Amino acid sequence: MAKENLSVWTSISFWRRSAAWVTGFATILLIWLTFDTMGQISMGTDADLQKGITKRVPAPTVINYHIDYKMSEKRGHEVPVIGKKEPFFGKEWSPKEAAALLHLGKLGSQAKNCMNCHTLLGNGAYYAPDLTKAWLDPMWGATMQGMTGKSTKEEAMAEFLMHPEKYPTHARMMPNLGITAEEAKGLVAFLKHMSSIDTNGFPRGFSKTVDQFKAGGTNAH
């Protein structure tokens, strides 16, 4: 009989059942992935920091800590390492103050459209250096502190943001965007916090820049 010779590939009920199983499996997988991602990207708390629990996105009070960037052999790229406490603009910021400062910085970065020229966490433009890990750039050490006459990294960075035309370091110059002292503080907090986010080693090549710098070359991007 002809019916018995039909292969399973031509059976409508087989395809119907397969479609139902695949849809069901994909739905469960997507729900699981959504919850997993939410857990990975939700911001940590000040208590996490005090207990030394490392979150991918640490609490705003991470600005009260020294942030380092170290090669992880296990993961094959650099990861941010949150170290000892250090003053930020001369003080320790409470969770409320730190959150407010970070908020000011975030609004400032949107109002002045830093992304129009820079890249932040993978979004933005390539006209100017990637800012995701800018805080960790050794240039803010002796070099920029010397040029700006400031004694801390954060003050040197704030001074640069307010008067970039006075400190040209690359072939291209950042224009003066009329950033106030308060906005600059917020922006520096925003950049310091961003550098503490575990971005799986992105942007790639950041450490190459750092090595070039250490070797005495110019910090060209």
Q: Can you give the binding site for ligand HEC, defined by CB under 6 A?
A: 108-109, 112-114, 116-118, 127-129, 131, 134, 137, 139, 161, 168-170, 172-175, 177, 187
Residues 6+ apart with CB under 8 A from 214: 138
Q: How many other β-carbons are positioned within 10 Å of the β-carbon of residue 148?
A: 19
Nearest to 111 by CA among 190, 200, 217: 190
Q: Rounded to the nearest whole angstrom, what is the least distance from the CB of residue 49 to ligand HEC in the complex?
A: 24
Phi-psi region of 21 (alpha: psi -120 to 50; beta: other; left: phi over 0): alpha
Q: Which is nearer to ligand HEC, 85 or 166 (CB)?
A: 166
The distance of closest approach from Cβ of residue 60 to ligand HEC in the complex, given in angstroms and rounded to an integer, is 17
Q: Which is nearer to ligand HEC, 11 or 113 (CB)?
A: 113
Distance between CA atoms of residues 205 and 221, nearest Å: 10
- 81 vs 177, beta carbon nearer ligand HEC: 177
Minimum separation from the CB atom of position 75 to ligand HEC (A) = 24
Is the separation of the CB atoms in 82 and 196 below 8 Å? yes
* Distance of closest approach, residue 67 Cβ to ligand HEC, in angstroms: 15
Least distance between ligand HEC and beta carbon 135 (Å): 8
Q: Closest approach of Cβ 162 to ligand HEC, in Å?
A: 10
Which of residues 57 and 213 has its CB atom nearest to ligand HEC in the complex? Answer: 213
Q: How many CA atoms lie within 13 A of 154 on its CB side?
A: 24
Spell out the residues 6+ positions from residue 62 whose beta carbon is closer than 8 angstroms to its own: 49, 82, 192, 193, 196
Looking at beta carbons only, is 35 or 127 nearer to ligand HEC? 127
Q: Which is nearer to ligand HEC, 62 or 161 (CB)?
A: 161
Closest CA to 99 of 56, 51, 61: 61
